[in-house]
């Protein structure tokens, strides 16, 4: 079936460090890929998305590239801030399926 | 910017009681969803709703659950007889059409005692 696997957390980094959160997926066809972010006490917010192979999604300094050959959609940011502390979810939707399939989430802590 | 709203933000109930969670989707959206997130676990799809009927439901969405769009603005999730394992954060989402992103509400945290 369709699934998303992302790296286990928590991930703890110092401010201004480089961030990578790995995400791989299993899906038939051509899924759309997403990163959602959940700040403490808040709901899910779409961070970025990519709908076809080699697309790069970007927002707020975060980037992720849809790699069909490696079935990956790793999240990166060049210089993290304390305000980036949150839980990050990799997700997909497939074809005509409406539902979003989420990974387990990766908690990120940024230390000042 | 339009947003999805949910009420209440928190609800505590006794096992076996009925609860209704309310959502107001973005006004021109046509597709509606409920998801849940048990504490510390991943977000799981419950049900999708379009044109006044369920489009898809997961195995979690058993006979104890129902959804309704009683008027032009609200979208509700009812749990008829709550169980301890229904304790979770419940998220509502909506989107305008199938090419658009789903927009999520802030969630209702349900605690069943």
Distance from CA of A27 to the nearest CA of B (A): 17
Give chain A's radius of gyration (CA, Å): 13
**CA atoms in the 13 A half-sphere facing the CB of A43:** 24
The more confidently predicted of residues A40 and A101 is A101
User: Which tokens sit at A33?
Assistant: 């890929």
Average pLDDT, rounded, for chain A: 93
User: Which tokens sit at B35?
Assistant: 């998801």
pLDDT (tens, 9 = 90+) of chain B, 113 residues, equals 778 999 999 999 999 999 999 999 999 899 999 999 998 888 999 999 999 999 999 999 999 999 999 887 899 999 999 999 999 999 999 999 877 788 999 999 999 99
Strand, coil or helix: B97: coil
Query: Residue A97: its pLDDT value, please?
Result: 65
Q: Which of B40, B27, B22, B23 is nearest to B93 (CA)?
A: B23
Please indicate if any CB of chain B lies within 8 Å of the CB of A43.
Answer: yes
Confidence check: pLDDT of A7 > 70: yes
- A47 neighbourhood in chain B, CB within 8 Å: none
User: Which tokens sit at A102?
Assistant: 């989420």
Residues A40/A86, Cβ–Cβ less than 8 Å: yes
CB pairs under 8 A between A and B: 48
Confidence grade of residue A96 (pLDDT, cut at 50, 70, 90): low
**pLDDT tens digits for range A53-94:** 999 999 999 999 999 999 999 999 999 999 999 999 999 998
Question: What are the DSSP E strand ranges found in B16-74?
Answer: 19-24, 31-37, 43-50, 53-57, 65-68
């Amino acid at each position: 079936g369709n699934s998303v696997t992302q790296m286990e957390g928590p991930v703890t980094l110092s401010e201004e460090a480089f961030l990578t959160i790995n995400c791989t997926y299993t899906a038939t066809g051509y899924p759309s890929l997403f990163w959602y972010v959940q700040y403490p006490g808040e709901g899910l917010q779409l961070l970025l998305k990519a709908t076809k192979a080699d697309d790069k999604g970007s927002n707020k300094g975060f980037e992720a590239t849809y790699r069909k050959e490696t079935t990956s959609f790793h999240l990166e940011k060049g210089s993290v801030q304390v305000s980036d502390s949150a839980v990050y979810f990799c997700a997909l939707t497939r074809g005509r399926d409406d539902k979003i399939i989420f990974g387990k989430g990766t908690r990120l802590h940024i230390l000042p | 910017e339009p947003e999805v709203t949910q009420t209440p933000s928190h609800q505590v109930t006794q096992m076996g009681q009925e609860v209704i969670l309310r959502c107001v989707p973005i006004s021109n959206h046509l597709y509606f969803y409920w998801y849940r997130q048990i504490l510390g676990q991943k977000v799981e799809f419950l049900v999708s709703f379009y044109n006044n009927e369920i489009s898809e439901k997961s195995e979690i969405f058993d006979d104890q659950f129902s959804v309704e769009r009683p008027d032009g603005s609200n979208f509700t999730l009812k749990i008829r007889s709550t169980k301890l394992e229904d304790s979770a954060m419940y998220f509502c989402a909506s989107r305008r059409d199938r090419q658009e992103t789903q927009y999520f509400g802030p969630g209702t945290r349900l605690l069943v005692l």
